[in-house]
Chains A and B, each alone.
Chain A
Amino acid sequence: DQQVKQNSPSLSVQEGRISILNCDYTNSMFDYFLWYKKYPAEGPTFLISISSIKDKNEDGRFTVFLNKSAKHLSLHIVPSQPGDSAVYFCAASNSQGGSEKLVFGKGTKLTVNP
């Protein structure tokens, strides 16, 4: 049973517009969430994270929003740039579980068109 779901396999946006990538989770014990970006033939790179004690975290053009009641988080990229074209993975963890294991979604492929 998939605990972290990214229901959109792909997303295409115009340069300069907003990209919104969504992620849903089912395990209510998850309390720390991360977004990773992956280019072809490279490993994922950490982008931004959020703890469940917050509902928003911002880093430059990237903002992550967390809605605990809906078990939903989203990544906003504003403005989108062609270099943002990559696969974005959502990941979650239970910080009280005694390990730092991450559970990943299947990823969303973002294409930013010039």
Chain B
Amino acid sequence: EADIYQTPRYLVIGTGKKITLECSQTMGHDKMYWYQQDPGMELHLIHYSYGVNSTEKGDLSSESTVSRIRTEHFPLTLESARPSHTSQYLCASSPGQGFSSYEQYFGPGTRLTVT
């Protein structure tokens, strides 16, 4: 059973607000990821981390930022939310070695709506 948590599950917020989406995992995984997904579309990688103090931008350009101060915690921050940020945000983690590192465990997601 995968233990990866995201809060909040749903968020409706006004333009210009600063928001932080939380993601935590209790599996001790070194690798963590943030994806953005619009309905009917593929998941796009926006950030990833291979360990504490390691963060990289993903394939899809994003105005968000991430931090990895603790292994279990990988929050995503939007400094000034805009309607174009409306989407579902999915956090994932994976173990560090071999082909099992490709088997990512996903949280339930945060559905963000910016009005």
- Out of A2, A32, A102, which one reaches B99, CB within 8 Å? A32
CA A89 to CA B101, docked complex, whole Å: 18
Chain B nearest CB from A109 CB (Å) reads: 9
Q: Does B48 contact A (CB under 8 A)?
A: yes
Q: Does A70 contact B (CB under 8 A)?
A: no
CA A44 to CA B28, docked complex, whole Å: 20
Chain B nearest CB from A28 CB (Å) reads: 18
State which residues 60-115 of B face A: CB under 8 Å: 90-92, 94, 99, 101-109
Q: Does B58 contact A (CB under 8 A)?
A: yes
Segment from A12-20, A45-53, A73-81 that makes contact with B: A45-53
Whether A44 contacts B90 by the Cβ 8 Å rule is yes
Whether A100 contacts B42 by the Cβ 8 Å rule is no
CA A45 to CA B39, docked complex, whole Å: 17
CA A103 to CA B2, docked complex, whole Å: 21
Using Cβ atoms and an 8 Å threshold, which residues of chain A touch B102? Answer: 32, 34, 49, 93, 95, 100, 102
Taking A42-B108, A103-B59 as given, write out 12 further A-B residue pairs in contact, using a Cβ cutoff of 8 Å, ordered by the A residue number: A32-B99, A34-B103, A41-B108, A43-B90, A43-B106, A44-B43, A44-B90, A46-B105, A100-B94, A102-B43, A105-B42, A106-B41
